[in-house]
Structure 1
Amino acid sequence: MFERFTAEARQTVTGAQAEARALRHRQIGTEHVLLALAGAEDATGRALREHGLGPDDLRARIVRSYRSGGDVLDSDALRSIGIDLDAVREATEQSFGEGALDAPAGKADRSRQGRVPFTPMAKKALELSLRHAIRLGHKEIRSGHLLLGVLHDGGFPSVRLIIEAGVDVEELRAEVRRLLTSKAA
């Protein structure tokens, strides 16, 4: 499938891997693909930014979502026994570096090396990007097809981030389809 990706689409995939690594996440999710798309200097990236989905804002939203929903440490339970998780996190990061509490012991450096795997949802989004390309009669997968893939399922973290940002997902999909049919995305 990757042989059908344009150079921009391939850059998106490698950009998603770089974003996941930089955030010290052990897998590449649809949110990382969305983040890479938002930072791209093509029509798809511009469309995302025009909808208020810039890379800095998305990155901050991803960090917050991982800390709130994906945090193994229960801040409310710790607070009930007198422990302030935010203070512990801040002190730990000052001593051991940003994200020190986010990776299991001994695994913090592994995410910076080697291949970072895709989540099942991200794999599905990539597969859906191929389906969108075929449905539109395109032989190659462009960044716009990737965006349609990460926008396809309301259960994807990428879609939840977009909704949280107050963006109309259907309107964004329609714009991306328009761009793709004009071959700009």
Structure 2
Amino acid sequence: MFERFTQAARRAVVLAQEDARERRQAQIRTENLLLGLYDAPATPESTAAELLRRAGVERADLAGEITRLPRAERTLDAEKLALLGIDLDEVRRQAEETFGPGALDRTRAGKQRRMFGHIPFDDASKKALELSLREALRLKHKEIGSEHVLLGLLHAEGGARELLAARGVTLDDMRTAVEELGRGEASG
């Protein structure tokens, strides 16, 4: 399927993986893909980024909110430790209060969590990418551009859709905006 992606759409996926790695996530999530859309170059930027800006959605605002979203793997760890009477958030707070911000990340265990190589997509991200193909086919576009990935993110479950919905961005509105681009092929 990736052979049908435009350069901007491919770059968005690569950037999503880098974002997931920087956040030390075990999987690429829809939020990572959303941020990747902003950073993927086309001429001069991805079509999706332009559509999002027109809708009043800025990357910096999303990045801040994504940091505050609960991560599934962190939630599971915290729940397991809570069964033992350990409050993971309190441990982290005390460690950072005593040793400075990011203290636990500087430990040997924290460094081992740093991931290299391929990071898999979570189920919602896989679904969003599949739906981006369907959106391109629906519009009779030969390639999958960043705008189709955006539509896939709005269609699939996940944090990206929730963040965009909170800003009033809907699948129907974005479909209309993509159709109004008036291009016979994917643009970026």
TM bin, normalised by shorter chain, reads 0.7 to 0.9
Alignment TM-score, normalising by the size of structure 2: 0.76
Match for 2:158 among 134, 156, 170? 156
Distance 1:89-1:69 versus aligned 2 partners, 3 A rule: farther
- 1:156 deviates by 2.0
- 1:63 deviates by 1.0
Match for 1:88 among 94, 105, 108? 94
Which stretch of the first structure deviates more once superposed, 17-26 or 44-53? Answer: 44-53
* Cα distance in 1 for residues equivalent to 2:10 and 2:113: 27
Identical counterparts, % of pairs: 38
Distance 1:94-1:137 versus aligned 2 partners, 3 A rule: closer
* Cα distance in 1 for residues equivalent to 2:72 and 2:27: 18
* Cα distance in 2 for residues equivalent to 1:39 and 1:125: 18
Say yes or no: does 1:168 pair with 2:169: yes
Say yes or no: does 1:73 pair with 2:110: no
SS of equivalent residue, structure 2 residue 181: helix
* Cα distance in 1 for residues equivalent to 2:29 and 2:135: 19
Q: Name stretches of at least 5 consecutive residues in structure 2 with no aligned partner.
A: none
Query: Any residues of structure 2 matched to 1:104-123 within 5 Å, and which?
Result: 107-109=112-114, 111=115, 113-123=116-126
Aligned to 1:23: 23
- 1:108 deviates by 1.2
Is the CA contact (8 Å cut-off) linking 1:130 and 1:141 kept in structure 2? yes
Say yes or no: does 1:52 pair with 2:56: yes
Give RMSD over aligned pairs.
3.1
- 1:82 deviates by 9.4
Aligned to 1:34: 34
Cα displacement string for residues 102-137 of structure 1 (whole angstroms, at most 9, x for unaligned residues): xx767412x2x1101000111111111111111111
Task: Tell me the matched-pair count.
Answer: 174
Which stretch of the first structure deviates more once superposed, 34-43 or 12-21? Answer: 34-43
Moved over 6 A (4+): 80-84
Q: Name stretches of at least 5 consecutive residues in structure 1 with no aligned partner.
A: none
Code of the residue aligned with 1:64 in structure 2: it is: R
Is the CA contact (8 Å cut-off) linking 1:43 and 1:179 kept in structure 2? no
Which stretch of the first structure deviates more once superposed, 45-54 or 118-127? Answer: 45-54
SS of equivalent residue, structure 1 residue 59: helix
